[in-house]
Structures are given as C-alpha cells and as structure tokens.
C-alpha cells in the first residue's frame, strides 16, 4: 500500500467518525422535544428554520465523506 492510500484511508476514517459524532449530537438534541407525543420535534413544533452550527458541520462532513468514498475507491482499487 502506498503512502497516499494510507493517508486517504486515515482521512476517510476521521470523516466517518466526525459524521457519526455530529449525527448523534443532532439526534440527542432533538430527542427530548416531542417524544412524549409519538413524533419527532418536527411533528409537534414545526420545522426549524435554517441550520445551526452543528448541523452545518454535519452537512459539510457528510459531503466530504461522500467525496472521500469515491476517492478511496479510486486510489485503492
């Protein structure tokens, strides 16, 4: 395995952990509101307008992770 493929795989793993972390943060944030009524927070309180800081980071990491998947496939294969 070349040095470049090792670096790309390490970056891919870091992005995956980041996506998981921020997705769990968002789930924890919205789980307390509206859970008693049998729906998510969007079902009771309406949709939130815009994205907060954690949601923007999660979205960015998700997009980078998608490109990283393609890059890892291309470099390793």
Enclosing domain of residue 65: 3-76
Question: Residues 18, 11: contact at Cβ < 8 Å?
Answer: no
Give the residue-averaged pLDDT of 35-58. 67
Give the residue-averaged pLDDT of 54-70. 93
pLDDT at 47 over 70: no
Q: What is the pLDDT of residues 6-41, one digit of tens each?
A: 999 999 999 999 999 998 888 776 666 555 555 555
CB atoms within 10 A of CB 59: 13
Say what the pLDDT of residue 7 is. 94
Please state, for a pLDDT cut of 90, what percent of the chain lies above it: 45
Question: Residues 45, 33: contact at Cβ < 8 Å?
Answer: yes
| Closest C-alpha among 21, 13, 16 to residue 54 | 21
Give, in order, the Cα–Cα distances in Å from 29 to each of 14, 25, 68: 22, 6, 27
Element (H, E) at 44: helix 41-45
User: How many structural domains compose the chain?
Assistant: 1
């Amino acid at each position: 395995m070349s040095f470049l493929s090792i670096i790309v795989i390490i970056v891919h793993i870091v992005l995956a952990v980041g996506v998981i972390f921020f997705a769990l943060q968002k789930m924890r944030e919205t789980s307390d509101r509206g859970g008693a009524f049998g729906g998510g927070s969007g079902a009771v309180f309406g949709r939130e307008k815009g994205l907060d800081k954690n949601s923007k980071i999660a979205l960015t990491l998700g997009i980078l992770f998608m490109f990283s998947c393609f890059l890892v496939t291309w470099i390793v294969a």
